[in-house]
Structure 1
């Protein structure tokens, strides 16, 4: 499922804080992050009576944190619960302005238009490695369009998103979400890399990845993917609006949406890479739908009026 972020003002978050002011309810949210569960499964996992679990679920539903469906089961109807949000952002100064209109565009990680790959590098789909490892020529094989994982010790990769909004639309914000980390031989959880993003040629901000993560298997990785390789990244969201550029809600750059020249029926160029002068030269790894922990490719959301 796509990664879902909910933004709340301080006043809107009161019910959420009340719902989470319970260790049992917080644990339910963690369990539902792994998979949907019914009341009996939650009762067994937490060692609580089913009536107690039912009451906790009701409170979480009222706060908008959990949704439930009644489905036919082997022993009658069962109530199956799922978590609604993956991340909550609380704006202490009040909710930032967000228009109601949002257009989302998703591009597979293998559908890049330009790439400068530096060994160690490679790409893979759900079935196999593509081409030869550590050979940049492999990135130009036709099969690269099926790639759901790419990695490079340096350089950059660039994508083109098509903006097909109505001609009268005015873009007032853009979000770019991706699962990403550094690139080390094998994996190295302490391997920093300064990863920069450009939109339409404008440098919008740099995030310092702490490492190339392994040791725990990525939730979506195919069975053939070796345990001694990197396993997952972190879900990072670059956001540009009228106030500047932020990563996960924290302002990092003065670049504003009007600087980017985003217009309807024009392409939007997204470049991800490591600048040669950056202190931490740890490369980058991009995870698509079939690898890592988040079932999504590169996602661009356009907020418009």
Structure 2
């Protein structure tokens, strides 16, 4: 996910979106990456016109192009570079919200207890071997962009940048996750538990492990779990919400704040009703080009 605002640096992106043809191109390649000739045929336009539009989309960061060998020739294939863009509009001074954002790679966990099936991978290769929890200690794990396990937990320590002079208003956590099924199965429920500073925020039941098609970002050599679901968890003074729906009655006041850090734990415990495992997709895997994003919104006390 890309977060933008009204800064002039985003003009190429907004200009890229300001065209019916370019929006149609985005729709087409979201289904299947295509070359310029294929797009021209689908749109009923010349290749020269389509090339102009794809250059604008690429300049705006919405698509990427790569040379691919196919059918005995080399083709410049267009595919989506983003799956979601969030625009924050200017707000009045009284509504301004200060926030700190930390992006945590999936391999930067501080503690774990995982059970096979399990493993980790970088964008290029598996780390160690499949189904051997010892490799979760491997120093190369810091470069992992995907990890999975059938039950257990991983815990991340995230710096707490909220100052004593600031009042915490909201915590937002976004990440792409899914179950860990044998092979790929759409119907493989898993009760994924979210903890913050040892407080259970709630449980979300993942419906399965992708199910059909490839992840938009997943490397071509990867053949199993392809993508998950982008879940956005918000902890406020009114409760905890996931994708806008109430997850629990846990509020900010229920979480014991540590001075220097937050401890985020993702777990599938052995006493869960549905023990379907957990896959965490980081930047370069799945459908959302991001790691675990942790935001704290705060205001100055006494405003």
Instruction: Tell me if TM exceeds 0.5.
Output: yes
Distance 2:190 2:286 in 1: 18
Matches within 5 A, 1:256-271: 256-262=251-257, 265-271=259-265
2:110 aligns with 113
Change (3 A) 1:128 1:43: closer
CA–CA separation in structure 2 for the residues paired with 1:159 and 1:261: 16
Aligned counterparts of 1:33 and 1:102: Cα–Cα separation in 2: 32
The 1-side partners of 2:229 and 2:246 are apart by 18
Q: 1:118 to 1:193 in 2, by over 3 A?
A: same
Q: How far apart in 1 are the matches of 2:179 and 2:96?
A: 34
> How much has 1:83 moved relative to structure 2?
11
Q: 1:27 Cα deviation (Å)?
A: 5.6
Structure 1 residues 98, 257: closer, same or farther in 2, change over 3 A? farther
Q: So what's the TM-score if we normalise by structure 2?
A: 0.71
Retained in 1: the 8 A contact 2:100–2:161? no
**How many angstroms does 1:224 deviate by?**
2.0
Gapped regions of structure 2 (runs ≥ 5): 6-19, 33-37, 47-58, 62-79, 87-93
Paired position in structure 1 for 2:235: 240
Aligned in 2, Cα 1:158/1:28: closer, same or farther, shift over 3 Å?
same
Q: Is the 8 A contact 2:157 2:264 kept in 1?
A: yes
User: TM-score normalized by structure 1?
Assistant: 0.71
Report the Cα offset of residue 242 of structure 1. Answer: 1.0
Structure 1 residues 87 and 205 mapped into 2: Cα distance closer, same or farther (>3 Å)? Answer: farther
Quote the residue 1:93 is aligned against. none
User: What is the alpha-carbon distance in structure 1 between the residues aligned to residue 236 and residue 100 of structure 2?
Assistant: 15
Shift of 1:270: 0.2
Distance of 2:147 and 2:156 partners within structure 1? 13
Correspondence for 1:217 among 214, 218, 232: 214
**1:129 and 1:84 mapped to 2: Cα distance?**
25
Q: Give the SS at the match of 1:120.
A: strand
**Aligned Cα RMSD in Å?**
3.6
Q: Give the SS at the match of 1:143.
A: helix
How far off its partner does 1:222 sit? 1.9
Cα displacement (A) at 1:42: 8.3
CA distance in 2, matches of 1:182, 1:249: 21
- Distance across 2 between alignment mates of 1:219 and 1:84: 9
Map 1:145-184; keep pairs closer than 5 Å: 145-184=142-181
CA contact (8 A) 1:3 1:294 kept: no
